[in-house]
Amino acid sequence: MYPKYFEMDEYIVSARKYRPDTFEMVVGQDTITQTLKNSIKNNQLGQAYLFCGPRGVGKTTCARIFAKTINCSNPTPDHEPCNECESCRAFIESRSFNIHELDAASNNSVEDIRALIDQVRIPPQLGSYSVYIIDEVHMLSQAAFNAFLKTLEEPPKHAIFILATTEKHKILPTILSRCQIFDFNRISVEDIRKQLEYVAKQEGIEAESDALHVIAQKADGAMRDALSIFDQIVSFCGRNITYQDTIKNLNVLDYEIYFKITDALLAGNYAEALNIFDDVLKKGFEGGYFINGLASHYRDLLVCKDPNTINLIEVGDKTKEKYLQFAQKCSVPFLFNAIQIANSCDMSYRTSQNKRLLVELSLLKICNISSSVFALPQQQTPKTQVAQLQPQPVVSKPVVAEQKPAPAPVAPKPVLPEQPKPQPTNNELQNDGTKAGLLNKIVGLGGTPTASNAEKNTQVATSTANWGNKDFSSSDVTEAWLAFVAEKCPAGTRWNSYFRNHIPEVDESGAYVLKVEDSSMQTRLLERKEVILNFVRMKLDNGSFNFNFVVDENLVEKSNEVAKTTSERLDELKKNNPEVAGMLSDGDFTQV
The Cα 168–Cα 184 span in angstroms is 11
pLDDT attached to residue 569: 61
Q: Quote the percentage of the chain above a pLDDT of 70.
A: 75
Rounded to whole angstroms, the Cα distance separating 134 from 49 reads 10
**Strand partners of residue 163:** 50, 134
Residue (of 294, 324, 293, 322) closest to 307 by Cα position: 324
pLDDT at 583: 59
18 vs 61: CA distance, rounded Å: 11
Least confident stretch, 185-199, 237-251, 357-371, 557-571: 557-571
Is the pLDDT at 391 greater than 70? The verdict is no
Q: Cα–chain-centroid distance for residue 302? A: 19
From residue 575, alpha-carbon distances to 469, 522, 540, 568 in Å are 43, 21, 36, 11
Higher-confidence position of 435 and 566: 566
Residue 105, number of CB atoms within 10 A of its CB:
12
pLDDT at 416 over 90: no
Looking at residue 409, its pLDDT comes to: 45
**Hey, what amino acid is at 577?**
N
Tell whether the model's pLDDT for residue 439 goes beyond 60: no
**Host H or E run for residue 547:** strand 547-551
pLDDT tens by residue, 64-97: 999 888 888 888 888 888 888 888 888 888 888 8
Query: What span, in angstroms and rounded, lies between the C-alpha atoms of 586 and 494?
Result: 7
492 band by pLDDT with thresholds 50, 70 and 90: low
Report the pLDDT averaged over residues 4-24: 75
| Cα 481 to Cα 464: distance, rounded to the nearest angstrom | 18
Q: What is the mean pLDDT of the chain?
A: 77
Contacts of 68 (CB under 8 A, 6+ apart): 21, 81, 87, 88, 91, 99
Position 566 scores a pLDDT of: 56
Instruction: Please list, in sequence order, all residues whose beta carbon lies within 8 angstroms of the beta carbon of residue 536, skipping any fewer than 6 positions away.
Output: 477, 480, 481, 484, 545, 547
Q: Quick one: CA torsion of 523, 528, 532, 534, rounded to 10 degrees?
A: 120
Report phi then psi at 416, rounded to 5: -60, -45
Residue 348, amino acid: S
Per-residue pLDDT at 4 exceeds 90:
no
The pLDDT, as a whole number, for residue 507 is: 78
Flag the least confident range among 398-402, 471-475, 499-503: 398-402
pLDDT band at 431 (very low <50, low <70, confident <90, very high): very low
Query: Cβ contacts of residue 551 below 8 Å, gap of 6+?
Result: 515, 516, 517, 518, 519, 522
* Model pLDDT for residues 167-212, shown as the tens digit of each residue: 989 888 888 988 999 999 999 888 999 999 999 998 889 988 888 9
Q: Which of 254-268, 334-348, 401-415 has the lowest mean pLDDT?
A: 401-415
Q: Are the C-beta atoms of residues 513 and 550 closer than 8 Å to each other?
A: yes
pLDDT given at position 392? 44
Which of 165-174, 307-316, 418-427, 540-549 has the largest mean confidence? Answer: 165-174
Residue scoring higher pLDDT (435 or 273): 273
Q: Work out the pLDDT band at 459, boundaries 50, 70, 90.
A: very low
pLDDT digits (tens, 9 = 90+) for 236-294: 888 888 888 888 888 888 888 999 999 999 888 889 999 999 999 998 889 999 999 99
pLDDT (tens digit per residue) in 112-149: 888 888 888 888 877 788 899 998 899 988 888 888 88
Q: What pLDDT is attached to residue 292?
A: 92
Q: Give the pLDDT band (50/70/90) at residue 228.
A: very high
Residue 498 pLDDT level (bands cut at 50, 70, 90):
confident
pLDDT at 567: 61
pLDDT one-digit tens code per residue, 289-324: 999 999 999 999 999 888 888 888 878 778 888 888
Most confident stretch, 289-293, 446-450, 482-486: 289-293
Task: Decide: 261 and 294 in contact? Cβ < 8 Å.
Answer: yes
User: For a pLDDT cut of 90, what percent of the chain falls above it?
Assistant: 18
Cα radius of gyration (the chain): 47
Q: How many alpha carbons fall within 13 Å on the CB side of residue 329?
A: 15
In terms of phi and psi (left: phi > 0; alpha: psi -120 to 50; beta: otherwise), the region of 513 is: beta
pLDDT confidence of residue 71 = 86
52-62 pLDDT, tens digit each: 998 889 899 99
Listing DSSP states for 337-380 in one string gives: HHHHHHHHHHHHTTT-SSHHHHHHHHHHHHHHHHHHH----TTH
pLDDT at 449: 40
8 Å CB contact between 335 and 301? yes
Number of neighbouring beta carbons within 10 Å of residue 339 = 19
Q: What per-residue confidence (pLDDT) applies to 531?
A: 81
Dmax (CA) of the chain? 132
Q: Select from 271, 385, 276, 266 the least CA-distant residue to 328.
A: 266
Predicted TM-score (pTM) of this structure = 0.57
